[in-house]
Amino acid sequence: MTKEDVAKLKAEVESSLAQAKSLEDLNNLKVKYLGKKGLITHLLKSLKELPLEERRELGSLLNEIKDEFERVLKVKEREILLAEEDELTDLDLSLPGRQPELGALHPLTIVISEICSLFERLGFEIAEGPEVESDFYNFTALNIPEWHPARDMQATFYLENGALLRTHTSPIQVRTMLRKKPPLRIIAPGKVYRCDADVRHSPMFHQIEGLMVDEKVRFSDLKGVLTYFAQNIFGKDTKTRFRPSYFPFTEPSVEMDISCMICKGEGCRVCSQTGWLEILGAGMVHPEVFRAVGYDPSRWQGFAFGLGVERIAMIKYGIDDIRLFFDNHLYFLSSFK
């Protein structure tokens, strides 16, 4: 074997690769040159019969031919496969590309994010807690003892071990106060559970509760924060009113209404001709709640509020059936892109 033999082999390999038109042609060439009895394989094995200097020189040239052959082989294989795929799919490169179907955030996710962002701008921190709770955190620490009739209002899911599925996110407030000393500002978004189901109620729904505790927190602070919230969520022209109510964990307690977004306060079917829509409950934290978590009620004051995310979303987007949020109809979900 000489340099001329190697050069002749290189020219032959290049010519053969250039003429190959199919995967079968390439496979035949692979066997011809790199198979067990292939030309390149045979010459590489015969190098041991040559003197050391010739072996090094010719071995280097043969390995270059082999490497180049394998590289070109892979390129040709890819080109042929792509060409065959185009033929099978009748691909017309002149046609415009197909736009991928884009998803969208769920409307409840949108509303939760918007509300959390709003309160974060006011200095509130997001707090989280478990969905499976104990009676103490869900009721007792919130001034709802075992005999209290307010427990009947909650329609609670109890578990066999005595635990329960939280009926509100207020336990997060209790856990936070036990863990941190005031002053503090938190909002607690999350899933809650109650035995209730119709067009306006779901056994699982979402709440966001808020808590602010400091030495000089007044009811006027509560009204100011919640009015700011309503006008940023529903529009600057939104009017608010506060009606006396009752919650065992706040005193005084109120329910907050906003002017109906449909009739602008004139009265319609949606607002039952009142011109107002109830959106949340709130009040000043009851002294017994502070005592349960070790806060001195003579020094610290605070307000708390709780709202249903589905309720806010239904008003904001004009939705009249809460079940639409959970049925996963693509037409409904795609309208929020």
The residue-averaged pLDDT of 316-322 equals: 84
pLDDT of residue 187: 96
Say if CB 258 and CB 243 are below 8 A apart.
no
67-109 pLDDT tens trace:
887 888 888 888 888 777 666 566 667 778 778 877 788 999 9
110 or 90, which is more confident: 110
Written as one letter, the residue type at 317 is: Y
The residue-averaged pLDDT of 153-170 equals: 87
Say if CB 200 and CB 228 are below 8 A apart.
no
Is residue 326 predicted with pLDDT exceeding 70?
yes
pLDDT of residue 128: 95
Q: Which H or E element spans position 190?
A: strand 184-193
For the record, the structure tokens of 164 come out as: 């329960």
The residue-averaged pLDDT of 7-25 equals: 82
